Structure 1
Amino acid sequence: MYSIIVVPAQCAGPEEQFRLAPGESLRFGRTPPPESRTGTVPGTGARPPHLTLTHDGISRTAGEIRASGAFWTLSNLSSRQTYVVENPEGAGEHIKIAPGRLDAPVPFEFSRVVLPAAGELLGFEVWAPRHDYVAADPSLEGTLTAPAFALDRTKRYFAVLTALCEPRLRGEPHAPLPTVDQVAERLRPGWPAASRTAVQWNIDYLAVKLRLKQPPESADCGPRLNGKKESLVSLALRFDLVRESELALLERELDPR
């Protein structure tokens, strides 16, 4: 069973993709190495796979991808060029692979490998669709672990949090957050009495509930929390407290807090 899929630029279909099982590797560069042209993979009779990038600015042997279960590693076989692996879903998130670095682990499910080539940037994609999860042991007894963030998705405060996250969940990672008035307007179809004061109260409530700020009655409620909306959205998106699929909740009638 393959664990990663390498998709060349201008790929015309699945037949031009490379599917690698755990332990298998794929070299890439300007020309296939001699063993790819004349040799075979031991025990299979097949030639080693090779992704050819026909550009004078790409090394003949530029790098190697190796599949390893639910993730993959990248070796930069260039002596001069730094490679970049971008997360297309990560709002600019990326890692750099220094020249000569071997077996650098890549943590992204969808990745774009970018190679500098004499004033141009060439690239290809790597998908890691395999997800492995631990199976729950029904024989374990005792009290359940308390949830890190106890959120009730039927309540108004969750709708406020979802409305704050909406622009970035819709694929605009650098979009400015909606104002309190805009959140109130967005929620009125399901919450006719939504107002600036009510929305702000729920934002303050969320800051306490998500432990960004101590409750007002605390002996040490800490300093004033600046950038409260930004902190809430950052936390919610980082830990998947709100997902794109939950945007539909904004259209339904809301229960009280």
Structure 2
Amino acid sequence: MSGDSVIVVPGAGHGEQVRLAPGERLRFGRRTGGNDLVLAHEGVSRAAGEITAQGTFWVLSNLSAHQTYAVENPEGAGEHIKVAPGRLDAPVPFEFARVVLPAAGELLHFDVWAPRHDYAPGGPGPDGTTTRPAFGLDPTKRYFAVLAALCEPRLRGAPHAPAPTVDQVTARLAPVWPGANRAAVQWNIDYLAVKLRLKPDPASADQGPRLNGKKETLVGLALRFDLVREDDLRVLAAGATEVPR
């Protein structure tokens, strides 16, 4: 696939967006000559670092002799990586990232987006069979609407929001599920915990240890593996779902 793969978004006052095609590099630092992105602060190294686009991701080289850089995931709950002084070509795994540089008591930052996604062709594998999905979720079922309601605050841009309470989920689902009540919502949460293999099946003799923080665990798993995406929130606005079987 051709075209841009990385977009660098400078902070206020640091210039326009820079788009990089695979293999292209962007240098940043205090020096006005030789850097594509100038960070005019005395606490920034003259040649502070370099970004290289690598198709669907990018790598960061820290050219500073003394400063560790942090690369944060603005959509994660504190998720970040550290790039030590002198480290070259550290791969960054975040689609949306914020590069943070300590600068004489201040923190400077700029954002890097990696919006390009490449996918393998669909269809059966070499032996003629298809791979069974890791989690078989049906978006027409009520349990999926419950999971979407649990994930909604974080998908709406509040990455540190706690999971909604059962009562809040019940109220949120009322427009699409008029018969929703606290017991029914809790049943679906318990069902999801089994379906997503966070707990053994109720028919199992070994029920394992009690699962604490069930809603938080469900939300974390769903968002980590894209079981619920922002587009899926439409199930909260239109169309009734069915009782899970």
Q: TM-score, normalised by structure 1?
A: 0.86
Higher mean C-alpha displacement, 245-254 vs 197-206: 245-254
Q: What corresponds to 2:38 in structure 1?
A: 52
Mapped contact 1:22–1:67 kept (Cα < 8 A) = yes
Q: How many residues are paired up?
A: 241
Which residue of structure 2 lines up, in the alignment, with residue 114 of structure 1?
100
2:5 to 3, 18, 24: 3
Return the alpha-carbon distance in structure 1 between the equivalents of residues 102 and 125 of structure 2: 54
Measure the CA separation in 1 of the matches of 2:14 and 2:52. Answer: 23
Tell me which residue corresponds to 1:28: 28
The higher radius of gyration belongs to: 1
Q: 1:207 aligns with which of 188, 193, 202?
A: 193
SS at match of 2:70: strand
Asked if structure 2 preserves the Cα contact closer than 8 Å seen for 1:11 and 1:17, the reply is: no
CA distances 1:156-200 after superposition (whole Å, capped 9, x unpaired): 111111111122221112222222222222222222221111111
How many percent identity over aligned positions? Answer: 71
The answer to whether the Cα contact below 8 Å between 2:123 and 2:130 also exists between their aligned partners in 1 is no
| Of 117-126 and 137-146, the range deviating more from structure 2 | 137-146
1:81 offset after TM fit, Å?
Answer: 0.6
| Structure 2 unmatched ranges of 5 or more | none
RMSD of aligned C-alpha atoms? Answer: 2.0
Pairing 1:82–2:68 present? yes
Q: Aligned with 2:146: secondary structure?
A: helix
Opposite residue 242 of structure 2, the aligned amino acid is D
User: What CA distance in whole angstroms lies between the structure 1 residues aligned with 2:36 and 2:171?
Assistant: 55
Does the alignment pair 1:255 with 2:232? no
- When residues 135 and 61 of structure 1 are mapped into structure 2, their CA distance, relative to the original with a 3 A threshold, is same
Give the TM-score, by structure 2 length.
0.90
2:49 matched residue in structure 1: 63
- Rounded to whole Å, the distance in 2 between the matches of 1:237 and 1:89 is 11
Native 8 Å contact 2:151 2:223 kept in 1: yes
Change (3 A) 1:188 1:137: closer
Matched, 1:245 2:204: no
Is residue 95 of structure 2 the alignment partner of residue 93 of structure 1?
no
The answer to whether structure 1 residue 176 and structure 2 residue 162 are counterparts is yes
Counterpart residue type for residue 240 of structure 2: E
